[in-house]
Amino acid sequence: MQLLYRSFSGFLLSWIAIFSGAGLLWAAESASPPPIALYEHSQHVAIDGRLEYLIERHRLSPFQVSGWALQDQWMESSAKGLNFGGMHPPVWFRFNVINRSDRERTWWLEIGSPLLDRVEMSVYNHVSGTWYFHRPTGQRFPIETRPVQHRHFVHPLTLAPDAISTIYVRVDTKTQLMISMDLWQQSAFLLNEQFQLLLLGLFYGVLGGMFCYNLSLYFFTRDRSYLFYSFYVFFIILYTLAETGLGNQYLWHQVTWLQGKAYPLFASASFLAATMFIREFLALKKNTPWINRSFSFFLAYWTYATISYLVYPHDILFQTTLPVAAIGNLLALATGIYLWIRGNASAKYFTIAWSFLLMGTLVHVLMLNRTIARTPFTQYIQMIGFVIEVVLLSLALAERINRARKEQESAQVQVLQLTEKISMAREEKLMVQEQLLEVQRQTNEALEVRVLERTNELERALNNLETANKELSKMSFADPMTKLYNRRYFDQILASEIKRASRTQHPLSVLIADIDHFKQVNDRHGHLIGDECLRIVAKTLSQQLGRSSDLIARFGGEEFGIILPATAAQNAMVVADRARDAVEQINFIHRGKRIPLRVSLGVAGWIPSAHETPEQLLAVADKALQDAKQSGRNRVAGINAE
């Protein structure tokens, strides 16, 4: 009887939970905004002003954000769109759609913001009560994982006739979050894409031509203004490639370390090149030393920002980049106006060119904030500003050449007139010749001093570059935690040793060591203690190598690789067992208790042939390592191909 009562009670509670969940789901649906109707002829629908958003304070699932408990936290977007700035928590977006055609149709949802780090999309069908979850995408994910391999995030949506669906999109990114969404028929999307690629092709064609033209002028004139200007145009091209997503789609989608860094890195590099060009082109050091000191600050900041974005970007850098860029642009414009008023001809062209760029950027930002409508013109106005600026600055540089030529011609005319006067009077001629010789001597001395200064500057720059290259080379081959070599350097040395062993017919042995139950150390004592254990084990293993030709590297995680040149497998087994015993003897005390450390090692060694690869030798050593683990861990297992 008691068993029957419990069964009935469980059955009743289950149905109560089902009806309660259905009621909450109905309430959530009733609170959703009216759906966007899609008809047979609907080619393109902009969703910017019909989005709802929810700022995520802690990690939420689609089931949680669609539930009744969070309905009062959803907010409607204004017709001007959404701009969340930078360094914000993840944001959820949603909107409702209904297919008003008489058959199942597919539309493409385009999220036109290629700089988002992570985008997750899910679809809830209100008629069938089913969910469909799209694979996460983002600029940090390989582009091959996207449903449509496009520079923007494009997701196909298949909608049943007369069925309401709610689209949920979660965006997590550190960059400026200015989101725009559009629904397309596939044919309309491809036609629009062709139009946009045509505009972008024209843009990059003009900038590429200006880059080649001014770089060639630098080689002819050796004027550093052309060199800095060429750098500026080059980094503008890379910056816009990152901003539009074309770079990630076509150029550096296989460059893992550049994923998520390209946009801020190339933006900082373009500001750095622009600062160097402005100082040189307007001759600030000579004309306005006090303004030149202000530009020195921006030069130092953008140098630091470029290096930081390349190596280790941090939150303070993300927060200061935009304000510093705005202040720097305004200072550049004010400097151009000031020098123009003082009669500097180059400043006139610079001010006009820079004004076009700032106006284009301002209109583009207003479009992103939806203060003005999003049209092809406002969408690409910043690029138009770049083109006008680049062309005008190129004309300014060309005008400077013409001005120098006219000054030279004027000087030649004056010399001819002076020569005629000298021929009229012998005494005046001798005096003028002495004056000319004195001028020539001073000019030669000034030229020699200038050449010497530039030579010294170049030597210092080359020395600094050589030092920086050496430091970067060390950093690229070192594991930052254990100070051992990294896997990349290990693979290079192993390939070299295989070739040497094959040539000399000496044996070559490889050891792979893995710390036993290292995950338990992290779980029990924390990752800081786990990192310290890694360093101690790495140091202990290194101490067991007795020759300078032996090499140890960290594979990653808790694995280490050891190369023993000219060492047979049986001798390598002795080294491996000595290393295992040394690790077992480590007396690591934490909070009064000893943390036991053990390693398992796999050994492979033989005389390799000329066609053997490092992967073959490592695969055998890894197989031996697995044998050691399966035999109870804290063991050495070896495989000898001989």
pLDDT digits (tens, 9 = 90+) for 164-203: 999 999 999 877 777 788 999 999 999 988 988 898 888 8
Residue 554 scores a pLDDT above 50: yes
* Token pair belonging to 35: 């759906």
Pairing mode, if any, of strands 599-606 and 636-640? parallel
Cα separations in angstroms, 473 against 489, 561, 606: 11, 21, 32
pLDDT for 374: 67
pLDDT reported for residue 401: 73
Higher-confidence position of 7 and 630: 630
Question: How far from each other are the two terminal CA atoms of the chain, in whole angstroms?
Answer: 75
Beta-bridge partner residues of 95? 167
| Architecture (CATH level 2) of domain 487-640 | 2-Layer Sandwich (3.30)
Instruction: Enter the CATH code of domain 201-406.
Output: 1.20.1070
* Tokens linked to 449: 């001093």
Among residues 120, 558, 612, 642, which one is catalytic?
Answer: 558
The one-letter amino acid at 22: A
Residue 171 has a pLDDT of 92
Residue 469 is predicted with a pLDDT of 57
Domain residue ranges of the chain, discontinuous segments joined by +: 26-184, 201-406, 487-640
Strand positions, DSSP E, 399-550 = 508-515
Note the CATH number of domain 26-184. Answer: 2.60.40.2380
pLDDT of residue 610: 82
Q: Check residue 86 and give its pLDDT.
A: 58
Question: How confident is the model at residue 634, as a pLDDT?
Answer: 93
Query: Is it the case that residue 437 has pLDDT exceeding 80?
Result: yes
- Buried b / exposed e over 510-525, threshold 16 CB at 10 Å, is bbbbbbbebeebbeeb
pLDDT at 461: 63
CA atoms within 13 A on the CB side of 514: 22
Average pLDDT over residues 375-402: 77
pLDDT of residue 493: 93
Residue 25 has pLDDT above 50, yes or no: no
> Could you tell me the pLDDT band of residue 26, with boundaries at 50, 70 and 90?
very low
Higher pLDDT, 99 or 76: 99
Confidence class of residue 254 from pLDDT cuts 50, 70 and 90? confident
Whole-number percent of the chain with pLDDT over 90: 30
Instruction: Work out the pLDDT band at 474, boundaries 50, 70, 90.
Output: low
Rounded distance between C-alpha atoms, residue 333 and residue 352, angstroms: 9
pLDDT tens-place string over residues 444-458: 877 777 777 776 777
**What are the DSSP calls for 194-237, one per residue?**
HHHHHHHHHHHHHHHHHHHHHHHHHHHH--HHHHHHHHHHHHHH
Instruction: Answer with the residue of higher pLDDT: 199 or 374.
Output: 199
Q: What is the pTM of this model?
A: 0.57
pLDDT at residue 355, rounded to an integer: 84
pLDDT over 80 (residue 132): yes
Q: Give the model's pLDDT for residue 225.
A: 83
Tens of pLDDT, residue by residue over 627-641, are: 999 999 999 998 754
The stretch 363-392 carries a mean pLDDT of 73
- Tell me what pLDDT residue 312 has: 82
- pLDDT over 90 at 539, yes or no: yes
pLDDT surpasses 50 at 1: no
Is residue 599's pLDDT more than 70?
yes
Range 510-516 average pLDDT? 94
Rounded Cα gap, residues 286 and 273, in angstroms: 20
pLDDT classification of 12: cutoffs 50, 70, 90: very low
Q: Which of 151-160, 351-360, 459-468 has the highest mean pLDDT?
A: 151-160
Decide if pLDDT at 137 tops 80: yes
Tally of CA atoms within 13 A in the half-sphere of 626 that contains its CB: 6
pLDDT: which is higher, 9 or 313: 313
State the DSSP H helix or E strand holding residue 45, giving kind and residue range, or none if neither: strand 44-46
Q: Residue 301: in which H helix or E strand, if any?
A: helix 289-311
CA atoms within 13 A on the CB side of 166: 26
Q: Is the pLDDT of residue 127 over 90?
A: no
Tell me which long-range contacts 515-524 makes (C-beta under 8 A, separation of at least 24).
515/558, 515/597, 515/598, 515/599, 516/598, 516/599, 516/600, 516/629, 516/633, 516/634, 517/598, 517/633, 518/557, 518/558, 521/595, 521/597
Token pair for 401: 């050449």
Q: What is the pLDDT of residue 79?
A: 44
Is the pLDDT at 157 greater than 60? The verdict is yes
Average pLDDT (267-286) is 87
pLDDT for position 30: 43
Q: Is the pLDDT of residue 215 over 90?
A: no
29 given a catalytic annotation: no
Average pLDDT, the chain: 82
97's CB contacts (< 8 A; 6+ apart) are: 35, 36, 37, 38, 107, 157, 159, 164, 165, 167, 183
Which residues contact residue 129 at a Cβ distance below 8 angstroms, ignoring those fewer than 6 apart?
25
pLDDT band at 13 (very low <50, low <70, confident <90, very high): very low
